[in-house]
C-alpha cells in the first residue's frame, strides 16, 4: 500500500494504471467498520482502491470540532493495509488549499445545501462539495463510495456529479450499525457509555416512523413531531426529525413512493445523524 501526501506523487503512483477501474473512498480518517465497508465495496467493484484521509477545514463551522476532530493516522493505515487498499492519499491543508481557504472556489448545490443539516451547519455542504469535487479531479476515479449514513451528503454529491457532468459513478453503501442499532460514526467517540446506549433511540424512532408509514399512516408532520418530542424527553437537543422525498429531500408529495426518514440531534458533545429508507 502506497501512502502519498501530494498530488504529483499521487499522479505518479497512478501512472500506467489508468486503464484499470479506479475506486475512491473519501474519508476524514478515524476509521471504523462503516469506512471499512466502503473500502470492501470499492475493492469488490474496482481494480484499484484509493482511500483519501483529509480532515477538511472548509466543512467545519467556527464553533465546530475541526481542531479536536480525532486524528488516528497510524491506526487508520493499519486498517486500510489489512483491507487490501492500494493507495492512500493523505494531503495537508496547504496541498488542498494552496491559495488559502477564504478566496477558494466554492462548489454549492443550492437545492440541497441549506435544508436539514445545512440549516444547523451553514456552509458545511459547500465545504463538502468543494473538497469532494477537488478529490474527484485529483484522483479521477471511475467510481466513488459514500456511506448512506450521511444521506444528505450522498444525495448532494450525486447531484453535484450529475449537474457538473463528472465522469464517474457515485455509489452509496448501507449504514453499518452497532448491535443496538446506533449508526457507526467517528463522533460516537464523544459519547459516554451511558450516552452511547441512549443514542440508539434515534434509530428506534426512525424505525417506528418507517413501520407506521408502511402500515399506511401518511400523517408525516405528526410522526415528525412525535419523534422530536420523544428525543427531547430523553435529553437530546433535536435539530430535526423529517420525512422527505429520498432524492430531492423535499417534503414528499402525496404520490411520492421513495422516502427517507432522517434525524439529527445532539447528545452530550456529539451531534448524531441517522436515516432509514421507505419504499411504498
Catalytic residues: 35
The β-bridge partners of 173 are 147
Applying CB under 6 A, the span of 10-18, 90-98, 128-136, 231-239 interacting with ligand PAF comes to: 128-136
Shortest Cβ distance from residue 221 to ligand PAF (Å)? 29
Least separation, in Å, of the C-beta of 230 and ligand PAF? 27
Site for ligand PAF, residues 145 to 184, rule: CB under 6 A: 150, 153
CA pair distance 236, 199, nearest whole angstrom: 9
Does position 185 interact with ligand PAF (CB under 6 A)? The reply is no
Q: Which is nearer to ligand PAF, 146 or 220 (CB)?
A: 146
What are the distances in angstroms from CA 138 to CA 61, 124, 133, 141? 25, 21, 9, 9
What would the grid cell of residue 74 be? Answer: 497510524
Buried b (16+ CB within 10 A) or exposed e, 73-92: eeebbebbeebebbbbbbbe
What is the size of the binding site for ligand PAF (CB under 6 A)? 10
Looking at residues 19 to 58 of the shown chain, list those that interact with ligand PAF (rule: CB under 6 A). 26-28, 56
Should residue 132 be labelled a site residue for ligand PAF when binding is judged by CB under 6 A? yes
Are 118 and 110 contacting, i.e. CB atoms less than 8 angstroms apart?
A: no
Residues near ligand PAF (CB under 6 A) are 26-28, 56, 59, 128, 131-132, 150, 153
Amino acid at each position: 500500500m502506497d501512502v502519498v501526501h501530494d498530488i504529483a506523487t499521487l499522479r505518479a503512483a497512478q501512472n500506467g494504471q489508468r486503464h484499470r477501474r479506479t475506486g475512491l473512498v473519501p474519508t476524514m480518517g478515524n476509521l471504523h467498520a462503516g469506512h471499512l465497508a466502503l473500502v470492501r465495496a470499492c475493492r469488490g467493484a474496482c481494480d484499484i482502491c484509493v482511500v483519501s484521509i483529509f480532515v477538511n477545514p472548509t466543512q467545519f463551522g467556527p464553533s465546530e470540532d475541526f481542531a479536536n476532530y480525532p486524528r488516528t493516522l497510524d491506526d487508520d493505515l493499519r486498517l486500510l493495509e489489512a483491507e487490501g487498499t492500494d493507495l492512500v492519499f493523505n494531503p495537508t491543508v496547504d496541498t488542498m488549499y494552496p491559495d488559502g481557504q477564504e478566496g477558494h472556489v466554492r462548489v454549492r448545490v443550492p437545492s440541497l445545501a441549506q435544508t436539514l443539516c445545512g440549516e444547523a451547519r451553514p456552509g458545511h455542504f459547500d465545504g463538502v462539495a468543494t473538497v469532494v469535487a477537488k478529490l474527484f479531479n485529483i484522483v479521477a476515479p471511475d467510481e466513488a463510495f459514500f456511506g448512506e449514513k450521511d444521506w444528505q451528503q450522498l444525495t448532494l454529491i450525486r447531484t453535484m456529479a450529475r449537474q457538473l457532468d463528472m465522469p464517474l459513478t457515485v455509489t452509496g453503501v448501507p449504514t453499518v450499525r452497532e448491535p443496538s442499532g446506533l449508526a457507526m460514526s467517528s463522533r460516537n467517540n464523544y459519547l459516554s457509555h451511558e450516552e452511547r446506549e441512549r443514542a440508539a433511540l434515534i434509530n428506534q424512532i426512525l424505525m417506528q416512523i418507517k413501520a407506521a408509514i408502511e402500515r399506511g399512516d401518511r400523517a408525516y408532520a405528526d410522526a415528525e413531531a412525535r419523534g422530536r418530542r420523544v428525543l427531547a424527553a430523553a435529553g437530546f437537543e433535536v435539530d430535526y426529525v423529517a420525512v422527505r422525498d429520498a432524492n430531492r429531500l423535499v417534503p414528499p408529495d402525496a404520490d411520492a413512493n421513495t422516502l427517507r426518514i432522517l434525524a439529527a440531534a445532539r447528545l452530550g458533545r456529539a451531534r448524531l445523524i441517522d436515516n432509514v429508507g421507505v419504499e411504498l
